[in-house]
Amino acid sequence: TQLLEQSPQFLSIQEGENLTVYCNSSSVFSSLQWYRQEPGEGPVLLVTVVTGGEVKKLKRLTFQFGDARKDSSLHITAAQPGDTGLYLCAGRSSNTGKLIFGQGTTLQVKP
Amino acid sequence: NAGVTQTPKFRILKIGQSMTLQCTQDMNHNYMYWYRQDPGMGLKLIYYSVGAGITDKGEVPNGYNVSRSTTEDFPLRLELAAPSQTSVYFCATSQDRVRNEQFFGPGTRLTVL
């Protein structure tokens, strides 16, 4: 069974601080996606990384796919209250094509 | 375009009751999925469909059924509700299985008492 472990599970920081969320597995994924979910809504896709070592930037968010395609990280620079939400990573299984979701990281950014 | 819509938004069921969660999409996507989300557990796949008339089980299918008679609709049926089915249910679609980038509905919060 493929698993994705996210850390930390909860993060509460002040506006302006930097943070990193990790997504780790012992399995290789063909690609990895990051979603953000706000209370009462469904997840929204932020980015897909496909190549080992790939780095993608989305304004203040930087996403990296590990060289071996087993792990990923999300770094937020100068966090803002609007970044508050649940961040989910999801790996695409090479065998089945289905997405395997991590358990999520709840981020709270205080003004 | 509405994207993916789900009804109802909230529902309370008694143990043993049945209900259907509705999911409709106007994105013309062939692939559709049902997930449940429990606190601290991420999203678990219940059932999925690769096109009209074709459905298959996901990771946690017990207690649920689905049908896919049209591209647009993918209802999820709970026959005998149990407290373990208390959860938030999300329907999602994707355009293809290669990238499998998914578009989610707003969810249905179900409580079974």
- Mean predicted lDDT score pLDDT of chain A: 95
Task: Compute CA A70 distance to the chain's CA centroid, rounded to the nearest angstrom.
Answer: 13
Which residue's structure tokens are 């597995």?
A25
- Looking at the DSSP assignment, which residues form a beta bridge with residue B64? B78
Chain A residues with beta carbon closer than 8 angstroms to that of B41: 103
SS3 assignment, position A9 = coil
Q: How far is A41 from chain B (nearest CA, A)?
A: 5
Give yes or no for residue A2 having a pLDDT over 80: no
**Pairing between strand A19-24 and B102-104?**
unpaired
* pLDDT at residue A105 is higher than 80: yes
Per-residue confidence (pLDDT) for residue B39, from 0 to 100: 83
Mutation target to probe the A interface, by most A beta carbons within 10 A, among B101, B103, B109 is B101
Our CA dihedral for B24, B27, B33, B38, rounded to 10 degrees, sits at: -80
Percent of chain A whose pLDDT exceeds 70: 100
Helix, strand, coil content of chain A in percent (nearest 5): 5, 55, 40
pLDDT confidence band for A78 (50 / 70 / 90): very high
Contact call for B43 and A43, based on CB within 8 A: yes
Predicted pLDDT at B92: 97
Percent of chain A with pLDDT over 90: 92
Look at residue B64 in the predicted model and tell me its pLDDT: 98
Contacts of B42 in chain A (CB under 8 A): 4, 88, 101-104
Beta bridge partners of B35: B45, B90
Asked if the bond preceding B75 is cis, omega within 30° of 0, the reply is no
Beta bridge partners of A45: A35
B74 touching A (Cβ < 8 Å): no
Interface A-B, measured as beta-carbon pairs within 8 A, has a size of: 53
pLDDT of residue A97: 86
Predicted local distance difference test score (pLDDT) of residue A21: 98
Q: Give the C-alpha separation, A8 to A105, whole Å.
A: 6
Mean pLDDT to the nearest integer, A34-58: 96
pLDDT category at B97 given cuts 50, 70, 90 is confident
Q: Determine the number of helices (DSSP H) and then strands (DSSP E) in chain A.
A: 0, 11
pLDDT digits (tens, 9 = 90+) for B42-93: 899 999 999 999 999 999 999 999 999 999 999 999 999 999 999 999 999 9
In this complex, is the C-beta atom of B48 within 8 Å of any C-beta atom belonging to chain A?
yes
pLDDT value of residue A96: 85
Residue A19 CB: number of other CB atoms within 10 A? 16
Examine the pLDDT at B96 and tell me if it is beyond 90.
Answer: no
pLDDT of residue B42: 87
Of B42, B45, B98, the CB nearest to A98: B45
- C-alpha distance from B104 to closest chain A C-alpha (Å): 5
User: pLDDT tens digits, residue range A23-43?
Assistant: 999 999 999 999 999 999 999
**pLDDT category, B5, cuts 50, 70, 90?**
very high
What local confidence, expressed as pLDDT, does residue B73 receive? 98
- Asked if B106's CB is within 8 angstroms of A88's CB, the reply is no
CA distance A12 to chain B (A): 16
The CB density around residue B43, as the number of other CB atoms within 10 Å, is 28
- A42 contacts B105? CB cut-off 8 A: yes
- The span from the CA of A96 to the CA of A94, in Å, is 6
